[in-house]
Amino acid sequence: MKKYLSLVTFAHTIFAMPFAFIGFFLAVTTTSNKFDWLKLVMMVLCMVFARNSAMAFNRYLDRDIDSKNPRTKQRDIPAGRISPAAALTFTLINCALFIGTTYFINQLCFFLSPVALLVVLGYSATKRFTALCHLVLGLGLSLAPIGAYLVITGQFALTPLFFSFAVLCWVSGFDIIYALQDEDFDRSQNLHSIPAWLGKVNALRLSTFLHVLSAAFVVMPVFFTPVSYLYYAGIVFFCVMLIYQHLLVKPNDLSRVNFAFMTTNGIASVVFAVFFLLDRIWIK
């Protein structure tokens, strides 16, 4: 179990899971649908299964690339801790569990489950042909809030889409920062990324622009649903953390990229979600 948790970097679930809770409780508190413990559990399971399949498939598909990159050659497959066949089997099992769980949620979630898997699994191949791979990763994680909203309602709505767009821009932006570490390696292997395409300075500028958009999207829900001062506090905290990570990383100093990537963004998502949930309780 420990090996498989390492394979899928389970700690990184902290990025999208809080936004899934936001989508779920947005639906509970703004529609006539009632809270349902079983649906909450199934939503969490779907998040886990989808992310497990995406990460395991990424490690499987990138195993040869990872073995050449000094930064990634100690990952589980190149290091021999997990075989490629085991990683692929783990991927298929989690895909089946994801689709199977959506069957018990509602018809729309079940019909859309292959589409969701196509997005989250397809990301792994994009670095081979487009520098927009960061946006595809962001798109995959952006399914969390709207998907969780669909678990409760079974229908689309505008407000959860704002949170999805916020996640898309936020994740794409910080993934560009993370990819700065591999700029030279990506070029040497003919791999595509924003840093390899635009260089460090322009990549950071694009990341900043995406994070400005993300901040704008977390503001948009205030125009469509009642919120309290708690949600505004969450907005301020989220934006401060976006700014902070850009202060940590400079084109000529990447020593704090990992801190900016994991710690700063993990705290930003969890604390923002906590403020959102407290706001929902206050409004109720």
129 pLDDT more than 70: yes
96 vs 85: CA distance, rounded Å: 17
238: which 2 tokens? 């989220």
Give every CB contact of residue 40 below 8 A, 6+ residues apart in sequence. 24
Residues 156/130, Cβ–Cβ less than 8 Å: no
Q: Among 4-18, 35-49, 53-67, 146-160, which stretch is predicted with the lowest mean pLDDT?
A: 4-18
Q: Which residue in this structure is represented by tokens 């460090």?
A: 200
Which tens digit of pLDDT belongs to each residue from 169-196? 999 999 999 999 999 999 999 999 999 9
Report the C-alpha gap between 193 and 61 in whole angstroms: 17
The 10s digit of each residue's pLDDT in 192-247 is 999 999 999 999 999 999 999 999 999 999 999 999 999 999 999 999 999 999 99
Taking 90 as the threshold, does the pLDDT of residue 32 lie above it? yes
Q: Which domains does the chain have, with CATH numbers?
A: 2-283 (1.10.357.140)
Average pLDDT of 89-100?
96
pTM > 0.85: yes or no: yes
